[in-house]
Amino acid sequence: MFADYSMSELGAIFAMQGFAGLILFSVFVLMALGLAIIFGQMGVINMAHGEFMILGAYVTYIMSNIFADYMPALFGMYFFVAMIFAFLASGALGLFVEWALIRHLYKRPLDTLLATWGLSLILQQIYRSVFGAREVGVSIPDWMMGSLPLTDMIEVPINGIFVMILAVTISFGVWIMMYRSKWGKQVRAINQNRVMADAVGINTAWTDRLTFGIGCGVAGVAGSAFTMIGSTGPTAGQLYIVDTFLVVVFGGAGSLLGTIASAFSISQAQSIMEFFLSGSMAKVLTLLTVVGILMIRPQGLFTLKLRK
Amino acid sequence: MKSTFLSRSELIGFAILALIIFIALPMALDSFRLNLFGKYLTYAFVAVGLVLCWGAGGILSLGQGVFFGLGGYCMAMFLKLEASTPENTSIQSTPGIPDFMDWNQLTELPIWWQPFHSLAFSLFAVVAVPVFFAFIIGVAMFKRRVGGVYFAIITQAFAAILTILIIGQQGYTGGVNGITDLRTLLGWDIRTDEAKEVLYFVNGALLFVVLFIAQFVRKSKLGRLLIAMRDQEDRVRFSGYDVAGFKIFIFCLGAAFAGIGGAMFTLQVGFMSPTLVGIVPSIEMVIFCAVGGRLSILGAVYGALLVNWAKTSFSESFPELWLLGLGGLFIAVVMLFPNGLAGIWSQHIEPRLKALFAPRGAPKSASQSTPAE
């Protein structure tokens, strides 16, 4: 199959394919970070995670319209404002959901799964009623359009680079929060031993709520970033949910590094296989491999040593 | 003599359900609506399996649609081959193969389609194929003591995988449209009203067979062990039982029920498609079980009937309300009625009925605390 290509063309194909894999990697990382906090640290199954991302995407859509209508001069900057609002909107919804729903169900993880699935259906319907059933796209600022020619044959799209930079920045931010802040220390303490954490004076109920809110907020930012590379529809969130959970479980719940490593391996495997096989077969093979490895090693790639 | 298999209240419960399915519904409904209810009842097979797996065993599978679909596809492949005789398909470039294969430039029947020329093999496959896959998944997961939410997520991944596979391999599976245009079963036209009525009763009878098997399992030692495993898995293991073996068995049994349900779906509705396999239908099947009551096999049947009936009537008149309603139902069942309809019955209605009919001053019957089944 390579006979028709010259060496330099092959190099270019692999470079472009690898770059496509990197964009997919960034997407997976962004999707999985929020879930790594919520599922990895708290053990809560949030099936509505995709809908929190979509909320961020819709907030970005609204902001882009507001900027285009009222502040066209600042349009190039709207995305950064939108991201902050996406974080706040999804985070606020997350706080509310934790208060109304999740906190009653910490002892019943399977029921949490069903309740959040119900929540996701309700959110989908609300999005559909408010924004219409069609997919919406935001207008991308000029500086993000086009692509950067690296060599004669290799070009990389600027919005892809932007999403990659975002993924790195947000991962770093989450890492700081998890491992260098007081909140992160409390979250990890609760994860290791809830009763003891309570006894030493950590407000576990409030920390839980904040953690859920922050996880949802990160999901919102991820959704905001997705508008740069694709359009948004009411049911788009559901498409992500299986991938996202597999990334987190495969990486080993509770390990941020594991999440990133698993996002990298899954995305690279998928984009490389996509070159040889059809898209759907690549997806099937990737998922089967992940599930197969999980059957052999249920705890995931990286595990935290915990005394349960 | 007091039967240990069915207590008196359970016997009454079974009798009432039989009256509803075999007499009340056929008399009250026209043939179109009856066929719809037959379709709902096929989901009850899955829900009953879920009562055993989830309610009794504590294993929540979000991939029951996979088994429902596998059973349904096995049946559909047989019916499709029967419908694709060389005479019926003479306009194709390769007569004698299913139409979607011809559209996808296949020139001969794939080898794994060949056995489905035989009805006996197909009926065997309806049960065997889901059980085979359930067995593999079960052995891989339960032997390693994977359970709870991890099991749920991985079974959900299987639902996603199978859907992508079916849609992607159009030439072999009919793709996103599924296998359609099914006509006859051994020369008997399944599209007529009479055939649909007959199939409805066959479906009902099979459902009762499944219900009796489920009841038998629940009353047997296995049933008690399952509940013990759900509540205190380690203690059961330390008592010397092979926990994984029981879990695999019950998961396979649930898969077999789902496969039968899928096959009956294909027969009654006349097609099978990936929309019945994926993540969304799989999780909806869990809600049928949850609404009926995750501990009650009869409740599961009512749950499947009620939710589907509500779905049909709501989406006919207020399509946008249905998703809100379904979402609210998920939340309400979990937050307010964890034991579903059966829980409401056994906690609120049955005691009052008993008080109403019991002779004054009689001692409270000991069976009062058992859930209505």
Q: What is the pLDDT of residues B68-101, one digit of tens each?
A: 999 999 999 999 888 888 887 778 887 878 888 8
Give the pLDDT score at B55: 86
Nearest CB among B144, B168, B335 relative to A298 is that of B144
Give CA–CA dist B298/B44, Å, rounded: 9
Give the pLDDT score at B145: 80
Give the pLDDT score at A8: 76
When pLDDT is cut at 50, 70 and 90, the band that residue A92 belongs to is very high
Nearest CB among A113, A125, A283 relative to B320 is that of A125
With 50 as the cut, is the pLDDT of residue B369 above it? Answer: no
Q: Closest Cα of chain B to A13: distance in Å?
A: 24
Who wins on pLDDT, A145 or A119?
A119
SS3 category, A242: helix
Q: Per the domain annotation, does B351 fall within a domain?
A: no
Give the pLDDT score at B109: 83
B60 contacts on A by Cβ (under 8 Å): 110, 113
Q: In whole numbers, what is the pLDDT of chain A averaged over residues? A: 84
Give CA–CA dist B214/B197, Å, rounded: 26
When pLDDT is cut at 50, 70 and 90, the band that residue A1 belongs to is low
Q: Per the domain annotation, does B71 fall within a domain?
A: yes
With 70 as the cut, is the pLDDT of residue A30 above it? Answer: yes
Q: Closest Cα of chain A to B110: distance in Å?
A: 18
Q: Per the domain annotation, does B134 fall within a domain?
A: yes
Tell me if A242 and B156 make a contact (CB, 8 A cut-off): yes
Q: What tokens appear for A139 in the block?
A: 């207008």
Give CA–CA dist B344/A262, Å, rounded: 45
pLDDT digits 0-9 by tens, A109-118? 888 888 999 9
Q: Per the domain annotation, does B232 fall within a domain?
A: yes
Taking only residues 275 to 304 of chain B, the set having a beta carbon closer than 8 angstroms to any beta carbon of chain A reads 279-280, 283, 286-287, 290
Tell me how many domains chain B contains: 1
Percent of chain B beyond pLDDT 70? 95
Sign of CA dihedral A165, A236, B325, A47: negative
A281 contacts on B by Cβ (under 8 Å): 168
DSSP H or E run through B184 = strand B184-185
Tell me if B320 and A105 make a contact (CB, 8 A cut-off): no
Query: In the predicted model, what is the mean pLDDT of residues B193-211?
Result: 91
Q: Closest Cα of chain B to A290: distance in Å?
A: 10
Give CA–CA dist A155/A137, Å, rounded: 24
Tell me if A245 and B141 make a contact (CB, 8 A cut-off): no
With 50 as the cut, is the pLDDT of residue A43 above it? Answer: yes
When pLDDT is cut at 50, 70 and 90, the band that residue B212 belongs to is very high
Q: In whole numbers, what is the pLDDT of chain B averaged over residues? A: 86
When pLDDT is cut at 50, 70 and 90, the band that residue A303 belongs to is low
Contacts of A215 (CB under 8 A, 6+ apart): A34, A35, A37, A38, A42, A46, A94
Angle at B46 between CA B40 and CA B52, to 5 degrees: 135
Give the pLDDT score at B359: 63
pLDDT digits 0-9 by tens, A169-193? 999 998 998 888 988 888 888 888 8
When pLDDT is cut at 50, 70 and 90, the band that residue B364 belongs to is very low
From chain A, which residues contact B within 8 Å (Cβ)?
Answer: 43, 45, 101, 104-105, 108-115, 117-122, 124-125, 128-129, 238, 241-242, 245-246, 249, 278-281, 283-284, 287-288, 290-291, 294-295, 298
pLDDT digits 0-9 by tens, B2-61? 456 778 888 888 888 999 988 888 888 888 889 889 999 999 999 999 999 988 888 889
A105 contacts on B by Cβ (under 8 Å): 334-335
Query: In the predicted model, what is the mean pLDDT of residues A110-129?
Result: 90
Nearest CB among B161, B165, B326 relative to A121 is that of B326
Q: Whole domain around residue B258: which residue ranges? A: 8-278
Contacts 24+ apart (CB under 8 A), A59-64: A59/A85, A59/A86, A59/A89, A59/A90, A59/A220, A59/A224, A60/A86, A60/A138, A60/A223, A60/A224, A60/A227, A61/A131, A61/A136, A61/A138, A61/A227, A61/A232, A64/A138, A64/A139, A64/A227
With 70 as the cut, is the pLDDT of residue A4 above it? Answer: no
Tell me if A280 and B168 make a contact (CB, 8 A cut-off): yes
Q: Per the domain annotation, does B364 fall within a domain?
A: no
Tell me if A109 and B149 make a contact (CB, 8 A cut-off): yes
Query: In the predicted model, what is the mean pLDDT of residues B146-170?
Result: 87
Closest CA to B204 of B35, B13, B11, B28: B35
Nearest CB among A112, A125, A279 relative to B323 is that of A125
Contacts of A64 (CB under 8 A, 6+ apart): A75, A78, A79, A82, A138, A139, A227
Q: What tokens appear for A246 in the block?
A: 């597999």
Tell me if A291 and B161 make a contact (CB, 8 A cut-off): yes
Closest CA to A86 of A209, A204, A232: A232
Q: Does B140 touch chain A (CB under 8 A)?
A: yes
Tell me if A295 and B152 make a contact (CB, 8 A cut-off): no
Q: Per the domain annotation, does B290 fall within a domain?
A: no
Give the pLDDT score at A283: 86
Give the pLDDT score at A245: 86
Residue of chain A minimizing CA distance to B141: A295
Nearest CB among A115, A121, A241 relative to B334 is that of A115
pLDDT digits 0-9 by tens, B251-300? 999 999 999 999 999 999 888 998 888 888 998 899 888 888 888 889 89
Most confident range (mean pLDDT) of A140-144, A291-295, B29-33, B259-263 is B259-263
Q: Closest Cα of chain A to B88: distance in Å?
A: 32
Q: Per the domain annotation, does B312 fall within a domain?
A: no
Query: How many A/B residue pairs have CB atoms within 8 Å?
Result: 119
Q: Per the domain annotation, does B3 fall within a domain?
A: no
Q: Closest Cα of chain A to B361: distance in Å?
A: 41
